[in-house]
C-alpha cells in the first residue's frame, strides 16, 4: 500500500512553455501533498505544501506565480511550471502524507519527474 | 538554513561489510526518519524513530537517536550491492510539524 505515482516521469520542453506534473496517491487518501525540487547530487528542497481544497503554502523564495499548485482532490495534486526557462530544469518530486498517521509525519514519495527546459 | 548535515557525504565499502552514516539536525523534534533514494528515483521510507526512543531495528537496519546531541546514525549490516543508493535523514521543520527538512545525504556505494 501507500503508493504515489507521478506523471510524466520526464519531459523536455522549449523555453517559455508551461509544463504540468501530476501527483496521485493510488491507494490512500492524502491529507497533504508536498512538492520538492532536487538538483543533481543535492538534497531535496521543499517548494510547497498543498492541502485538498485550499491554497498551497509556498516556502520562502519559491514564486507562487511561477509554480502553480492545485490540489483538486484527496488523491491528486498538480504542479504547473509556467513559462519555463532553462534554470527551471530540475528533478521534481512529490510526496503525500496519509491522514491516519497523526503525529508521525512519514511521507510517501512519487518516482519524480525530470524536467529539461531547452 | 535549517537543513541537517550528514556524514560522510560519500561512502564506498565492500559487499558484506557494515555501513554507518550519521546525521545531525538543528531543531527540537518528535521523530526522525531515514529515507533511501536510488539514482534518479523517488525516496523510499526506511525507518522512523521517535524522540523517546534511543534505538530501533528493522531487518538489517539499525538506527540510533541522541536528542541531547541532536544526532542520529543509520547502520546497514551485511551490505549488498542493492544497498547502493543515497540515504537521507529527515526531521520535522519544528516539533510536531508535518513538513520535513532533509539532510544533505550520504551516497553509499557497495562494491561487489
A92/A39 Cα distance (integer angstroms): 9
pLDDT digits (tens, 9 = 90+) for B58-79: 999 999 999 999 999 999 999 9
Interface check for B54 against chain A (CB to CB < 8 A): the answer is: no
Interchain pair A107, B45: CB under 8 A: yes
Tell me how far the alpha carbon of residue B55 is from its chain's centroid.
13
Stretch among A61-65, B27-31, B104-108 having the lowest mean pLDDT: B27-31
Cα distance between residue A16 and residue A4, in whole Å: 29
Which residue carries 511521507 as its cell?
A107
Question: B105–A46: do the CB atoms touch at under 8 Å?
Answer: no
**pLDDT tops 80 at residue B53:** yes
Spell out which residues of chain A touch residue B44, defining contact as CB-CB under 8 Å: 109
> What's residue B96's pLDDT?
79
Model confidence at A1, pLDDT cuts 50, 70, 90, reads low
Residues of A in contact with B96 (CB under 8 A): 103
Q: What whole-number distance in Å separates Cα of residue B34 and Cα of residue A110?
A: 16
Q: How many C-beta atoms lie closer than 10 Å to residue B23's C-beta?
A: 27
- Which tens digit of pLDDT belongs to each residue from A75-95? 999 999 999 999 999 999 999
Q: Put residue A64 in one of left, alpha, beta given phi > 0 → left and psi -120 to 50 → alpha.
A: alpha
What are the contacts of B94-97 at 24+ separation with CB within 8 A? Answer: B94/B27, B94/B28, B95/B27, B95/B28, B95/B29, B95/B30, B96/A103, B96/B30, B97/A105
Res. A103: pLDDT tops 70: no
Chain B residues close to A60, C-beta within 8 Å: none
pLDDT value at residue A41? 85
| DSSP string for A46-61 | EEEEEETTS--EEPTT
| Of residues B42, B96, B107, nearest to A93 (C-beta) | B42
Question: Residue A23's beta-bridge partner residues?
Answer: A6, A77
Q: What is the mean pLDDT of residues A14-37?
A: 94
pLDDT of residue B27: 87
Interface test with A, best of B35, B36, B43 (most A CBs within 10 A): B43
Check A110 against B98: CB less than 8 A apart: no
Identity of the residue in A42, A46, A110 whose CB atom sits nearest the CB atom of B99: A46
Amino acid at each position: 500500500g501507500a503508493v504515489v505515482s507521478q506523471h510524466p516521469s520526464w519531459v523536455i520542453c522549449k523555453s517559455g512553455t508551461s509544463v504540468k506534473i501530476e501527483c496521485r496517491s493510488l491507494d490512500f487518501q492524502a491529507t497533504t501533498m508536498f512538492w520538492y525540487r532536487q538538483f543533481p547530487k543535492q538534497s531535496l528542497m521543499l517548494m510547497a505544501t498543498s492541502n485538498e481544497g485550499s491554497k498551497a503554502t509556498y516556502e520562502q523564495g519559491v514564486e507562487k506565480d511561477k509554480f502553480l499548485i492545485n490540489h483538486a482532490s484527496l488523491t491528486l495534486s498538480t504542479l504547473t511550471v509556467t513559462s519555463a526557462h532553462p534554470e527551471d530544469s530540475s528533478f521534481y518530486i512529490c510526496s503525500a502524507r496519509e491522514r491516519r498517521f497523526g503525529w508521525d509525519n512519514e511521507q510517501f514519495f512519487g518516482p519524480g519527474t525530470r524536467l529539461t527546459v531547452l | 538554513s535549517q537543513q541537517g548535515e550528514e556524514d560522510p557525504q560519500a561512502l564506498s565499502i565492500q559487499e558484506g561489510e557494515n555501513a554507518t552514516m550519521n546525521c545531525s539536525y538543528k531543531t527540537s523534534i518528535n521523530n526522525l526518519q531515514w529515507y533511501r533514494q536510488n539514482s534518479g528515483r523517488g525516496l523510499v521510507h526506511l525507518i522512523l524513530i521517535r524522540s523517546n526512543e534511543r534505538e530501533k531495528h528493522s531487518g538489517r537496519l539499525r538506527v540510533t537517536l541522541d536528542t541531547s546531541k541532536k544526532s542520529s546514525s543509520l547502520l546497514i549490516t551485511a551490505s549488498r550491492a542493492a544497498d547502493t543508493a543515497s540515504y537521507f535523514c529527515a526531521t520535522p521543520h519544528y516539533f510536531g510539524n508535518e513538513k520535513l527538512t532533509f539532510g544533505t545525504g550520504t551516497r553509499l556505494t557497495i562494491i561487489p
